[in-house]
A and B are shown apart, each in its own frame.
Chain A
Amino acid sequence: DSGVTQTPKHLITATGQRVTLRCSPRSGDLSVYWYQQSLDQGLQFLIQYYNGEERAKGNILERFSAQQFPDLHSELNLSSLELGDSALYFCASSVGAGGATNEKLFFGSGTQLSVL
């Protein structure tokens, strides 16, 4: 158990809908990272938050947004969903801002999103 909690584990929804994925980082970790994993693209970095502030942005669509709350949990909001958004969404956490060379990421078990 990595200590990173993601809910829900599975989510089935329809095209055009909006969903929210939730992540609680490991105790003491200040950074949260969101990754998308699909069969054809592997693990793709979406966005990172550190202590409530956005720190890095990857290939995140404009239809997607995220935030990190004062209690450090994070939410990833996906809107106007398309079939191609179906994927595993992972949250990872780390203790610092990601600048340290040896900083490891600890991953949650993911949310499987199916858009029908």
Chain B
Amino acid sequence: EDQVTQSPEALRLQEGESSSLNCSYTVSGLRGLFWYRQDPGKGPEFLFTLYSAGEEKEKERLKATLTKKESFLHITAPKPEDSATYLCAVRSGSARQLTFGSGTQLTVLP
């Protein structure tokens, strides 16, 4: 059974204070690792897909990286509008659906 574990559960940063969120996974044949952002009362919004170890993707202040066992979401000089819950998900083997972690709730203080 696929398992996705995210840490920390919650993270509070000052505006401009860079940090990283972790997503570790145990799957049978990773076919894709996905990062989503979820704002309160809304559905998850797609950020990135990573497919193979060593791959990196960037979008504004966010950079996602992937190794064989985990993924990191690096946030550089965050702003208050980056506050949200960040979800990691995997698609493995022959699975059609995504399996999600419990998320990291990020709060960026002005």
Contacts and interface: CB of A to CB of B under 8 A. Distances in A.
Interface of A: 2, 4, 31, 33, 35, 42-43, 45, 48, 55-56, 58, 90, 92, 97-99, 101-110
Given A45-B98, A56-B97, A110 B51 contact: no
21 contacts: A2-B43, A2-B45, A42-B100, A42-B101, A42-B103, A43-B44, A43-B87, A45-B98, A56-B96, A58-B97, A92-B43, A97-B96, A98-B96, A99-B96, A101-B51, A102-B32, A102-B49, A104-B34, A104-B46, A106-B46, A110-B43
Contacts, number: 60
B102 interface: yes
A90 B43 contact: yes
Interface in B22-53: 31-32, 34, 36, 41-46, 49, 51
Q: Contact size class for B? A: 20 to 34
A101 B92 CA distance: 9
A101 B43 contact: no
B99 interface: yes
